[in-house]
Structure 1
Amino acid sequence: MSSDLVAAEDVLLFVNAAVTATGQREFRATAGEQRLSLAFLHEYVRVNYRPLYAAALALDINDHNAALIVEALLRTPAEAEPLEGRLIAARLAKMPPQRVYRVFRALRAAGVNNRRTRAIVRDWLAGRPDLAHDAVKYRPGLKAAARHAHLPLPGGHGGETGDFLFAPGRRARYAQPVLEAFRRARHEQGALYELPFTVAEGFAARHGIPREVFLERMASRMTRLERLRNRPAATGADLSVMPLTRLALYVLSLPFGERRERRAELTGALRAAARRVAGPHAGSWGRVAAVLDDSWSSSGSAVKRRRPLAVALGCHFLLEALAAPGAYTAHWTSGARDPLLVRPFGATPLGMRIVDALEDAPERLLIVSDGWDNAPPGLAGEVLRVWRSRLDPQRRTSAVHVNPVYDADVFDVRRLAPGVPTAGIRDAEDLPALVEIARFAEGRERLAGLRAYLDRRVGLFLGGAGDGPADGPLAVAAEGAPDSPPDGPTDEALRAIPDGPSDGVPDGPREGGGW
């Protein structure tokens, strides 16, 4: 087997893991098993295919794995490859701030304080819209980042944000409204309604404010997700603008009676979210048949409750939008006919449902399942093998299996049959992109296309024209010869950072000591 084929297989395996795995407990695996498996896979790909490892930041991987990649790359600056610094900066700009601060705290705990790390921390903080807001909402994270990277906060030694973090007793009042509101909220109930919701919650509990009163008065300052989590009917959440998978999770959390009563509202919201995801591709997939897993294992785990089922429900409505009008059929493993009332139940007769789906002679067959075919075991793989080799060798029907559950034992998602490509999936919104990349797993002739695809995604991610670099990450990995120096912060950016020890240096200002 050629080295470029091995590289292609490895990147597909790693992308599947990076899309699905979160290091949390799954239905059939503990959190410890997940983390151990994921740590080995990250180390293997980083050491053997570092350009591919960095290029994964441009794909639709989840934030947990993106954070692990960023941390691993910054821990090993001597091995840096082209485009690495730009990919890290671009990915951090897309991640939720709390996750970014968590990465910075992990780097501090590991003693990673090289020049490139300090430049990336500085540039990311410089891009934050309101550091005073961060000082209130993400106080430990901002404090750790500033100390570790030796970064003076706006205003120098006399800056209010720096005093708020490191010398809180220095000022009797603050000119910045959010800092002053935080100071007043300790003694004045009205001030807490000027703070971010998550910060105000703690003050509300301290002052003994009834939850209903607090939610009503904070409604205007809550984000859409905060309104959805905290009694959406009372706080006026607009379900029609919620992301598809999160909306599916919300629907599945409702009792059956409420789902029936709100059928028109919930169905309309799910279809609106699916149409937003489908965009210009709506109705372009022709005849589509889906096999959707709502067996007992789709209940997930205590920390990922009903997540696999929510992905299947989201994919159902998205496939309905992508298929030609009236050309979509859904086959739930339980035999359910009403998608709004699905629940995790029973065994997984995937083989029987695949036979049902193929009777419709679809142009596309999509299977959404964790791959544990057990009624009877192995029937789905045998059906797909016979169908592909005997009944449809011309591949008139394209088939793709998307799996929302990472299998720690095999460092990948569980597959159904060698002839049917499998892609990991975490959010239903990623289905179109994952179907595109899954097709590269079907044969050797797909290698050139996979390289071009990865290069195009990197180019688009970095804000280019989408053509990607001439010798993209996969080509570099296969040939083993980077064609330019490691790409990180500019020389001007590095010169702006004071020289000092590369790792393990003291962490800047002392508590209460200013700058």
Structure 2
Amino acid sequence: MNTPESPADLVAAEDLLLFVNAAITATGQREFRSGAISQHLSLDFLHTYVRVNYRRVYAACLALDINDHNAARIVLGLLETAGEASTEERRAEGRLIAARLALLPPQRVYRLFGEVRRAGINNRRTRAILRDWLAARPDLGHDAVKYRSGVKTAARHVHLRCPEGPARMAEVGAFLFRPGKLPRYGHPLLDAWRRAHYEQGAVAELPFSVAEGFAARHGMKRAVFLERAAPRMTRLERLRTQEQRAVGDRRPDVDLAVMPLTRLALYVLALPFAQRAARRAELTGALRTAARRAAGGHAGSWGRVHAVLDDSFSSSGSGQKRRRPLAVALACHYLLEALAAPGAYRAVWTSGRGDALLVRPWGPTPLGMRVLDALEPGPGGAVPDRLVIVSDGWDNAPAGLAGEVLRVWRRRLDPGRRTAVVHVNPVYDSEGFDVRRLAAGVPTAGIRDAEDLPALVEIARFAEGRAGAAELHAYLDRRVARFLGAGVGAGVGAEVGDRGAVGDGRPGREAVS
């Protein structure tokens, strides 16, 4: 028999869902309808509120598919307020922080180390976490060349020992703190950096981002430099410089199919329409391959799927997040096609277009009309098993129609819930402290990368109220255990009810209903 949940339990569960949505979508950057300052202020409040009231839950969010910006903020917040945690909590937090730092891009971690230094966080636990991360780097010499200021700041802050002698660590120390002392370095990249000051041939041996500065200093022609540097470029660097390295009609060999799905969608949308049309087979094949890889074991298991995809003008994003909402919708289109049963997928774009490859941000957002189209029974009167709506939630043609359509559908036409409806939103609403919702009875989850869609649909069922707070925290415990490879002691569910109703200034329940 299920134990009745207290109001504090329900409040805590709502707060967790609200914070997870924000941590997935918000990056502190300008959005189409809100500026960077309001984004920062909104995130500052949410992070402080959840950390103070639900510290274990706050730390456990490092195991979820939140974005790197918020993961770094959680790590900084936990390290900065270590005195507020018990010994058991600090031990669990240390494991979560170490596991998450191992997944973050190195430049993001070095930036975090700089914030740790500026915040004056220099206790023994913090230094141990930073030293362990630096010790696990595969090539600290490479980092010293590519992220020199970051490595230098981290090494100074954690009192990293660089012993004298022929060891590579001593060379890194000399490179960072005593430049020019050694006539040459045994590490090939360190020595290439030394020679690149006066030798053009050494420029191509350096990481691309570092080599660009030396190439400009030497006055090298761009085409020549790119040709020489190509073997040392990362996959994304090769993609970004692809057109510059093209010779005549020959395009450099870049395997688009190995790109992450959402990033590939961003690349496709950046191409002119003529190129998209000319390369239709190549681009469509790459998107479908990436989508099948992202679907994994879920491929073909979702039955009949209909999707409403937002390509209105607001999907153009902002100067900092150019075309990001539209790219998420395009990536979700191909992923949902892979998740649906063969031949059982139907997409409806808000603009009415039928060619996904040629979509562009245009026009108003008639979500209500498009939801009606998507709910139309198919051949034989079959209704979809799932309706997925990918939109920023600004239904404005006419305003509010989508919410009313979904309300009537659920109450009058489908009370038995034959069709599972979920709304995924790629845009954070700083004023509402959450992603914008279409209707109270429709679960909404924030989304940043389309690859996370299957996991987000699982989280969305908690927002619908079909699963209770105890199940939500059990799910979070499982995610933490899977993330670490083992349990971490007391589960996050122990936090429920302890401080669930604490905290003046909590966002109103209407923001999470």
TM-score (norm 1): 0.91
Cα distance, 1:463–1:368 mapped onto 2, change above 3 Å: same
Deviations 1:115-150 (CA, angstroms, capped at 9, x unpaired): 111010100000001111111000000000111111
Instruction: Please show how residues 60-209 of structure 1 align to structure 2 within 5 Å.
Output: 60-80=65-85, 81=89, 83-153=92-162, 159-209=170-220
Say whether the 8 Å CA contact 1:284–1:323 is kept in structure 2.
Answer: yes
TM-superposition CA deviations, 1:334-362 (whole Å, max 9, x none): 00100000000000000000011111310
Code of the aligned partner of 1:310: A
Letter of the aligned partner of 2:455 in structure 1?
Answer: A
SS in 2 for 1:365: strand
Q: 1:352 aligns with which of 346, 356, 369?
A: 369
Say whether 1:226 aligns with 2:237: yes
Q: Are positions 1:303 and 2:312 aligned together?
A: no
Can you list the C-alpha shifts for 1:424-479, whole angstroms capped at 9, x where unaligned?
A: 00001010000010101122643232112111110011023xxx457421333434
Q: CA-to-partner distance for each residue in 1:56-111, whole Å, 9 max, x for gaps?
A: 00000000000000001000111232511100000000000000000110010111
Deviation at 1:480, TM superposition (A): 6.0
Paired residue for 2:505? none
Where does residue 489 of structure 1 map in the other structure?
none
Q: How does 1:268-347 map to 2 (within 5 A)?
A: 268-347=285-364
Pairwise CA distance, 1:255 = 0.6
Q: Mind listing any 5+ residue stretches in structure 1 that lack a counterpart?
A: 482-515
Unaligned 5+ residue runs, structure 2? Answer: 1-5, 378-382, 501-513
Q: SS state of the match for residue 298, structure 1?
A: helix
**Counterpart secondary structure, 1:362:** coil
1:386-405 aligned at under 5 Å gives the runs 386-405=408-427
Secondary structure (helix, strand or coil) at the match of 1:83 reads helix
- Describe the SS at the equivalent of 1:439: helix
Aligned partners of 2:163 and 2:171: how far apart in 1? 8
SS across alignment from 2:364: coil
Q: Answer yes or no: is the 8 Å Cα contact 1:293–1:369 preserved in 2.
A: yes
2-structure distance, mates of 1:448, 1:163? 55
- The answer to whether the aligner puts 1:33 opposite 2:38 as a matched pair is yes
Contact 2:50–2:58, Cα closer than 8 Å, also in 1: yes
Q: Which residue of 2 aligns with 1:513?
A: none
Q: 1:315-346, CA deviations, whole angstroms, 9 ceiling, x for partnerless residues?
A: 00000000000000000000010000000000
Contact 1:215 1:235 in 2 (8 A): no
Give the aligned partner of residue 393 of structure 2: 371
User: Secondary structure at the residue paired with 1:73?
Assistant: helix
- Residues 358-388 of structure 1: per-residue CA shift (max 9 Å, x gap): 1131000000000000000000011111111
Letter in 1 for 2:161: P
> Residue 496 of structure 1 corresponds to which residue in structure 2?
none
Question: 1:456 corresponds to which residue?
Answer: 478
For residue 336 of structure 1, give the secondary structure of its aligned residue in structure 2. Answer: coil
**1:436 pairs with one of 458, 476, 493:** 458
Alignment partners' CA distance in 1, 2:163 and 2:411: 66
Q: In structure 2, what residue type is equivalent to 1:149?
A: V
* Residues 478/215 of structure 1: CA separation in 2 closer, same or farther (3 Å cut): farther
Amino acid at match of 2:431: D
Choose 228-237 or 193-202, whichever is displaced more. 228-237
Match of 1:485 in 2: none
* Whole-angstrom CA distance in 1 between matches of 2:374 and 2:163: 61
Code of the residue aligned with 1:446 in structure 2: it is G
Q: Is the Cα–Cα contact under 8 Å of residues 118 and 149 in structure 1 kept in the other structure?
A: yes
Q: Taking structure 1 as reference, are residues 154 and 443 closer, same or farther at Cα in structure 2, changes over 3 Å only? A: farther
State the SS of the aligned residue for 2:387. Answer: strand
Secondary structure in 2 matching 1:399:
strand
> Residues 444 and 355 (structure 1 numbering): CA distance in 2 closer, same or farther, change over 3 Å?
closer
Counterpart AA for 2:125? R
Moved more, 227-236 or 61-70: 227-236
Q: How far apart in 2 are the matches of 1:353 and 1:335?
A: 8
| Residue-pair matches, total | 478
Q: Any idea what the Cα deviations from partners look like across 1:191-246, whole Å, max 9, x if unmatched?
A: 01111111111111111111111111111111111111112554422101000000
Which amino acid in the other structure matches residue 226 of structure 2? Answer: L
2:440 paired residue number: 418
Residue type at the aligned position of 1:279: G
Residue in structure 2 matched with residue 407 of structure 1 by the alignment: 429
Give SS of 2:116's match: helix
Aligned equivalents of 1:179, 1:443: Cα separation in 2:
57
Measured in 1, the distance between the counterparts of 2:180 and 2:67 equals: 40
Partner of 2:494: 475
Residues 45, 25 of structure 1: alpha-carbon distance in 2 compared, 3 angstrom cutoff: same
| Matched-pair contact (CA < 8 Å) for 2:92–2:489 | no
Residue in structure 1 matched with residue 509 of structure 2 by the alignment: none
The DSSP-based 3-state class of the residue aligned with 1:291 is strand
**Aligned-pair CA distance for 1:390:** 1.1
- The 8 Å contact of residues 219 and 235 in structure 1, kept in 2 or not, is answered as no
CA distance in 1, matches of 2:340, 2:127: 49
CA contact (8 A) 2:64 2:479 kept: yes
CA contact (8 A) 2:31 2:427 kept: yes
Q: Cα RMSD (Å) of the superposition?
A: 1.5
Alpha-carbon displacement from aligned partner over 1:152-183 (angstroms, at most 9, x marks no partner): 13657981110100000211111111110000
3-state SS, counterpart of residue 120 of structure 1: helix
Contact 1:244 1:314 in 2 (8 A): yes
Please give the alpha-carbon distance, in whole angstroms, between the structure 2 residues aligned to 1:280 and 1:352.
Answer: 33
Q: Identify if the C-alpha distance between structure 1 residues 480 and 30 changes in structure 2 by more than 3 Å, giving closer, same or farther.
A: closer
Given the superposition, is the C-alpha separation of residues 136 and 469 from structure 1 closer, same or farther in structure 2, using an over 3 Å criterion? closer
TM-score using structure 2 length: 0.91
For residues 105 and 305 of structure 1, the distance between their equivalents in structure 2, rounded to whole angstroms, comes to 28
- Cα separation, 2, equivalents of 1:173 and 1:445: 64
Q: In the TM superposition, what are the counterparts of 1:204-215 in structure 2 within 5 Å?
A: 204-215=215-226
The one of 38, 52, 66 aligned to 1:47: 52
Whether the 8 Å contact between 1:227 and 1:236 is mirrored in structure 2 is no
Aligned to 2:268: 251
